[in-house]
Structure 1
Amino acid sequence: MLISAAPAFAQSQAAPQAETLTLTNQWDKTFPKSNKVDHQKVTFKNRYGITLAADLYLPKNRGNQRLAAIAVSGPFGAVKEQASGLYAQTMAERGFVTLAFDPSYTGESGGQPRNVASPDINTEDFMAAVDYLGLNPAVNRDRIGVIGICGFGGMALNAVAVDKRVKAVVAATMYDMSRLMGKGFEDGLSLENRTKILTRLSEQRWKDAENGSPAPGAHDFYVDANGNVEIANRILPETLPENPNPVTKEFFDYYRTPRGYHKNSVASSGAFTGTSPMSFMNMPLLTYIKEISPRPILFVVGENAHSRYFSEDAYKAAAQPKEIVIVKGANHVDLYDQLDKIPFDKITDFFGKNLK
């Protein structure tokens, strides 16, 4: 006897419940509030139906004119209350409408399970921010730019390569997260160890499916002398060990101290889902970087940044027009929040010329 499955299917396809976000209205940033801009919380959806939360910054005394606008996100594991918000507020002080957003699954944005990272969805988040800005009455939709910080520098470049609405892009203190996870720091991951890592992550998917929820994990992997894969259960340690790795200390000094700590930040408080790296290892972000041209790219990187090679190699791969600024004496994390080192005059000039 043939039994129709239509009723059960129809029930399974019922419209999902609307996502409700709880947004903090009080000022809870890691930087002081400026009296030169107006600030408000906003939300918008990406094409996957995930509701993103953002801070919109508008210059005071802007009148009724439609202004150039910039979407900002990053670093990888951070939230809009940290570096991206500082960049956004500062650029709003300089005459731009700016939008600092939390990526999908993180911070005040929606999406389940929490703390997922994805090269595709996080790229889409930038394009959804452009959607929002283009519909905002304060914005001239023909004058939209993007700033991606750290790991979201790579995502920003990936988004701009396909989203031709964006007229200019800045990648600040950039990480290419797909290259880092797929090839290791300075491309030091062997094929043998890459295979071991992917085998370990693949097996973790069965455990997650059995448990009904994903286990946490960092995006750094270690293969010990016996060939065993070690995956940390958080991005940064609770406390800094004696004689720490200099890069770990650099990030710890930002995310885990009052300088940059925020409870919503994955890097400050925990970890991404442990299997998130699989998609990054399989999907190179900068494949089409040449297709950003003829729109301009500005790379900004610290002279002493351990990540400097990401920016320099992306600069080489990109087509003209392009420019790279090496900030003397700066390390990677300095360009998150050190106002005496972030070259905001240069960034302002770049967008001023290219978002006409």
Structure 2
Amino acid sequence: MPLHPDGYTFVLSDEVTRTPVRYSNRYGIEIAADLYLPKTFDDALTHPAIVVGPPHGGIKEQGPGVYAQELARRGFVAIGFDPSYNGESSGHPRHITSPEIFAEDFSAGVDYLGTLPYVDRERIGAIGICGSGGFALSAASVDPRIKAVATSAMYDISGVKRDGWQGTGTSADRRQTLSDAAAQRWADADAGEPALSPTFPSEIPDGLDPITSEFFEYYVTDRGHHPRSIGGFTLTSEPAHINFGALRHVADIAPRPVLLITGDRAHSKWFSDDVFIEAAEPKELVVVPGARHIDLYDSPDLIPFDKLDEFFTTNLARQLTAVA
């Protein structure tokens, strides 16, 4: 069905409240987010909290809201946010993608949650969906305030021209991509504005490969379409992801726990498999039977919310205390 009257791709549960909030990251960019609380919430106590990031190209009205709402139903304080330069967050030029800034957006979410009198600063976790999975892990590797981190359908945004999306980009691919980006910088300088990669069309064309078809199924159809989720980013953003490289410091998250969720039908599964090998204990890999990549964006019957609840309840465990 089309967007709901409130502008979201999912129905707001009658068990939670949703409040638009704004806060700044360390770059001075204003982040637009939604704060979800259970209606039975007791603000006289301090509670665990979770910050949820969207798929690369996604916004808070899509997957992050699905996750944040369900976690709020289960008693957590949760926020879903728009990344810098995208959605309703500020930053110019629009539609930049930056691995450093997108990781910073998670830490900014922690900053905000920690200012709420009913949030325990020692009990804050993070979830990254799709591309945000890598950004959440990057944030956690340098921000020990993130006490537990989970990813869902994690996607490798830093790769170069992957053959079959399996991480086989070569050094020649990397050099060619950087050469193309350098030429694009001249083109942008001459034009006076940055060019974007292709955005999602209004209709799904014929002849798409299976992976592209899957993304179009979510972002182009009524299932997940939103006018602020266009799919395109500035072409000159790509070198930043290449230079950022793989998750070299994921082992530094230990001894804080990592939960990686993927689907057995997800074309992105290889990345969660690889990161699971690189991560240090405590860690866990959950493979959801029958789940494709996009199914872990918004399908409550496939997203393992019981597992996420258990993971954060266990790893953000602490006796509830009264607000001073």
**TM-score normalised per structure 2:** 0.93
Cα 1:44–1:181 change in 2 (3 A) is: farther
- 1:92 aligns with one of 64, 67, 72: 72
Q: Per-residue CA shift, 1:119-168, capped at 9, x if unaligned?
A: 11101000000000011112111100000000000000000000001110
Q: Which residue of 2 aligns with 1:19?
A: none
Task: Name the structure 2 match of 1:254.
Answer: 218
Q: For the Cα contact (< 8 Å) 2:160–2:174, is it kept in 1?
A: no
CA RMSD of aligned residues (A): 1.3
Shift of 1:194: 2.4
1:242 and 1:266 map into 2 onto residues whose CA distance is 19
Residue 229 (structure 2) aligned to one of 258, 262, 265: 265
Q: Report SS of the residue matched to 1:177.
A: coil
Verify: 1:28 aligned to 2:7, yes or no.
yes
Q: Determine helix, strand or coil for the equivalent of 1:106.
A: coil
- The separation in 1 between residues aligned to 2:161 and 2:276, in whole angstroms, is 20
Q: 239, 243, 251: which is aligned to 2:207?
A: 243
Quote the Cα distance in structure 1 between the aligned partners of 2:56 and 2:173: 24
Once the two structures are superposed, the pairs formed by residues 134-149 of structure 1 within 5 Å of their partners are 134-149=114-129
**Paired amino acid for 1:150:** C
Task: Specify the alignment match of 1:13 in structure 2.
Answer: none
**Paired position in structure 1 for 2:189:** 209
Asked whether the equivalents of residues 106 and 266 of structure 1 are also in contact (C-alpha less than 8 Å), the reply is: no
Instruction: Check 1:237–1:189 CA distance in 2 against 1; reply closer, same or farther (3 A cut).
Output: farther
| Aligned 8 A contact 2:161 2:173 in 1 | no
Alpha carbons of structure 1 residues 290 and 207: separation in structure 2 relative to 1, 3 Å:
same
How far, CA to CA, are the matches of 1:338 and 1:272 in structure 2? 26
Confirm whether residue 125 of structure 1 aligns to residue 105 of structure 2: yes
Q: CA deviation at 1:275?
A: 1.0
Larger Rg: 1
CA offset at residue 199 of structure 1? Answer: 0.7
Retained in 2: the 8 A contact 1:182–1:280? no
* 2:134 counterpart letter in structure 1: G
Match of 2:27 in 1: 48
Equivalenced residue count is: 311
Measured after TM superposition, the shift of residue 176 of structure 1 is 2.1
Gaps of 5+ in 1: 1-25, 218-232
2:290 aligns with 329
Distance 1:294 1:95 in 2: 25
* 1:67 paired to 2:67: no
Q: Secondary structure at the match of 1:129?
A: helix
Are the counterparts in 1 of residues 204 and 220 from structure 2 also a CA contact under 8 Å? no
Give distance in 2, aligned partners of 1:182 and 1:50: 30
Q: Residue type matched to 2:308 in 1?
A: I
Look up the match of 2:313. Answer: 352
- What secondary structure is seen at the aligned counterpart in 1 of 2:221? coil
In 1, the alpha carbon distance for the partners of 2:161 and 2:300 equals: 33
Identity of aligned residues (%): 48
Unaligned runs of 5+ in 2: 318-324
Q: Does structure 2 retain, via aligned residues, the 8 Å contact 1:295–1:321?
A: yes
The equivalent residue for 1:313 is: 274
Instruction: Kindly state the Cα deviation for residue 182 of structure 1 after the two structures are TM-superposed.
Output: 7.0
Kindly indicate whether the alpha-carbon contact (under 8 Å) linking 1:76 and 1:151 is maintained by their aligned counterparts in 2. Answer: yes
DSSP 3-state at the match of 1:121? helix
Q: Which amino acid aligns with 2:206?
A: E
SS at match of 2:160: helix
Check the 8 A contact 1:151/1:174 in 2, yes or no.
yes
Q: What is the DSSP-based 3-state SS (H/G/I as helix, E as strand, rest coil) of the residue aligned with 1:340?
A: coil
1:5 aligned partner: none
Whole-angstrom distance in 1 between the partners of 2:245 and 2:168: 16
Match of 1:284? 245
Written as runs of structure 1 = structure 2, the 5 A alignment for 1:295-314 is: 295-314=256-275
Tell me the TM-score normalised to structure 1 length.
0.85
Structure 1 residue 288: deviation in Å? 0.4
C-alpha distance in 2 between matches for 1:250 and 1:131? 35
